[in-house]
Amino acid sequence: MNATGVATLLPSLPSIPLPAGIAGEIILLFLIAVVLLVVFMLGRKILKLIFGIIANSILGLISIFVLNLVLNIGIPIKVYTMVAAAVFGLPAVGTFVILRLAGVPL
């Protein structure tokens, strides 16, 4: 146990030698800038992907209601149709429309 009464479970890690002076600070700032740039670029792509998925899901759910109200397609509002429209979006709604026009009951 150490002086605070907490047992040290991890061995001490070796320190990384850094250049002293202004050169070390410049290298450290450069590394921080590179890490922030990578995090920003990945975060931007992930947010764009998530926004696209959410938008596709919302459009799929809204389109089922609009098709039923305006064109009277007759897509049933059931759990499986709503889940499929929320997960797959507009492609699921298109599949439902094709199935209904082909006479397949949903």
Domain locations in the chain as residue ranges = 49-106
Look at residue 52 and give its three-state secondary structure: helix
Confidence grade of residue 10 (pLDDT, cut at 50, 70, 90): low
Confidence grade of residue 91 (pLDDT, cut at 50, 70, 90): very high
- For 12-45, write each residue's pLDDT tens digit: 656 666 556 666 677 878 888 888 888 788 887 8
Confidence at residue 59, expressed as pLDDT on a 0 to 100 scale = 92
105 contact partners, CB below 8 Å, separation of at least 6:
none
